Amino acid sequence: MKTLNYVFNWLLSSGALTIITIFAWKYVKPWLDNKTEHAATEQSKAVWMLLEKVATTAVNALVGQPMSGQAKFDEATKNVLTFMKNQGFVVTKELAESAVQSAYEKSPLTPTVSNKEEK
């Protein structure tokens, strides 16, 4: 035990422990930064998937309502914004409108207009 104490005191007093710590930090810091960036990316993906699912649900819930298309779109956008705000996520109106528009385009329940020209 005394030997271990002498070794630790020598590492501390000679500055070797400081050099080892700095050397280790140079290798660990980029790894930690990469992990932080990866976690932020994964969180963004999860929020986007949640936004798409909420938009799809809002669109499907309003399909049978006797409202105009613009009124349904506005109501679905409002529902998406409200839900995301209640869950603690900050979503802009433009992003919510984009998600709702995408949900309308992907939904098999909404009619599609074909603009194909016949030859």
Q: Flag whether 119 is in a domain.
A: no
Range of 28's domain?
2-105
Q: Flag whether 39 is in a domain.
A: yes
pTM flag (> 0.75): no
Write out the DSSP string of 43-97. HHHHHHHHHHHHHHHHHHHTTTSSS-HHHHHHHHHHHHHHHHHHTT----HHHHH
Q: Flag whether 32 is in a domain.
A: yes
**pLDDT tens track for 84-101:** 999 999 889 999 999 999
Q: Flag whether 117 is in a domain.
A: no
pLDDT at 11: 81
Domain count, the chain: 1
Q: Flag whether 114 is in a domain.
A: no
Q: Flag whether 84 is in a domain.
A: yes
